[in-house]
Amino acid sequence: MNTNRPRKFLSLYSLFAGAATLVALLLASSEGYAYNYRTCSGNKIKYNGGWTNMYISTTSFPIGSSWDSRLQNAMWHWNNVKGAGFNFYVGRDTDGTHSSGNGVNEVYFDSSLSGSTLAVTSTRYHCYWFFGYQQGIDETDIGFNSNYSWTTSAYSYSNPSGSPINFEGVALHELGHALGLLHEDRWLATMNAYYPDGGPLGYYKEWDPFGDDRLGVRTLYPDGTTETDIAASPLKWIGTGSSGLVSSPTSATPGSAVTIEFTFSNQSTSTQTFDIGFYLSSDAYISTSDTFLGMNYGSWGSPGFTGTFSRTLTIPSWISPGTYYLGFKVDPNNFTGESVESNNFQQMPRTITIYSPIIAPPPVGILTR
């Protein structure tokens, strides 16, 4: 099943009727520096109170189930973005029904969505003039297409854009819509229109808004707090919003050169400069105790920057044949105190087999008698 398709996004415009003094109405799409959001005569359309309740359908996502915890985890990750003061709060929708226009934000599985749509966030908002522009989000409902196969397990590198679809990853994306962000297809980002969007970060495969997404929520809901974090990713932007795995070789011989791609995102509220170490490891967990292959000194990124680069490394000649992981770690010597240190290291999303150098077979003896 081809799941590499954009998710449809419904914009349901709701107008407060009966305002006789409605003299002007302007809807404009926003083109921000990177991230996108709606505007009303230049004003940001958002939850004006800086928070909202999301009512989780208990028939779709039973209380205490892995679905429930993945949803709440995705909400927490948006709430946890520093420099932004937005908060999702958890409510329960127990009646098994949902509707747009009831003033309640509902989250549910929807069997009526078409096959090409993974999930839909329906947003009701207002924008009108009444002695000044009045704007804000009124309601956001999130429906996940139950015709797809979903998983609450960890993201799989072996099927990076296919079924089963990672529920937490899509939830993080849809919740980004719910708080007011639109698609941003020019970078590797959670708000990419194409699954797996930005993808998960680091060895632990954590679904966290990327640098650009963080800039977006900070712009909508600034609160002046700060954070410092550089995150590693196994994915890269491959055009038109879609993302794919970084490349790396699957085999090499001792002493040979290999080239890998690597991606990092500056999650911070400020520009960061840091080193990046490259390693060969006997397992997927990349650390400074693995075989050191090289260092990029003085890498840097402005807030919101996410980039993919390549690095050529030499496999040491003394390495024994076997199966290994190439990988990297940002700020390997912990010069930078980060809010999240567990997303700094990333193995390549596939193994590399080191073969013995080809040794010419011994000459065949010719026996004469």
**Which residues are near Zn ion by CB under 5 A?**
7
Residue whose CB is less far from Zn ion, 7 or 236: 7
Cα 154-178-125 angle, rounded to 5 deg: 165
Residue whose CB is less far from Zn ion, 183 or 329: 183
CA pair distance 87, 76, nearest whole angstrom: 8
Residue whose CB is less far from Zn ion, 8 or 350: 8
Residue whose CB is less far from Zn ion, 83 or 169: 169
Residue whose CB is less far from Zn ion, 120 or 252: 120
Alpha-carbon Rg of the chain, whole angstroms?
Answer: 24
Tell me the closest approach of the beta carbon of residue 338 to Zn ion, in angstroms: 29
CB of 291 closer than 8 Å to CB of 316: yes
Residue whose CB is less far from Zn ion, 124 or 329: 124
Residue whose CB is less far from Zn ion, 7 or 124: 7
Tell me the closest approach of the beta carbon of residue 209 to Zn ion, in angstroms: 13
Tell me the closest approach of the beta carbon of residue 196 to Zn ion, in angstroms: 12
Tell me the closest approach of the beta carbon of residue 193 to Zn ion, in angstroms: 5
Q: Which of 288, 291, 302, 294 is nearest to 324 (CA)?
A: 291
Tell me the closest approach of the beta carbon of residue 3 to Zn ion, in angstroms: 14
Q: Cα dist. 256→143, 253, 275, 296, 355 in Å? A: 50, 6, 24, 19, 11
CA pair distance 37, 335, nearest whole angstrom: 35
Cα 173-206-232 angle, rounded to 5 deg: 105
Which residue's CB atom is positioned nearest to Zn ion?
7
What SS3 class is residue 169? helix
Give the distance, in angstroms, between the CA of residue 208 and the centroid of all CA atoms in the same chain.
6
Tell me the closest approach of the beta carbon of residue 18 to Zn ion, in angstroms: 33
Q: Which 3-state string (H, E, C) describes 291-334?
A: EEEEEEEEEEECCCCEEEEEEEEECCCCCCCEEEEEEEEECCCC
Contact partners, residue 323, CB within 8 Å, separation at least 6? 351, 352, 353, 354
What SS3 class is residue 285? coil
Tell me the closest approach of the beta carbon of residue 222 to Zn ion, in angstroms: 23
What SS3 class is residue 158? coil
CB atoms under 10 Å from CB of 6, counted, come to 17
Tell me the closest approach of the beta carbon of residue 36 to Zn ion, in angstroms: 11
Residue whose CB is less far from Zn ion, 214 or 329: 214
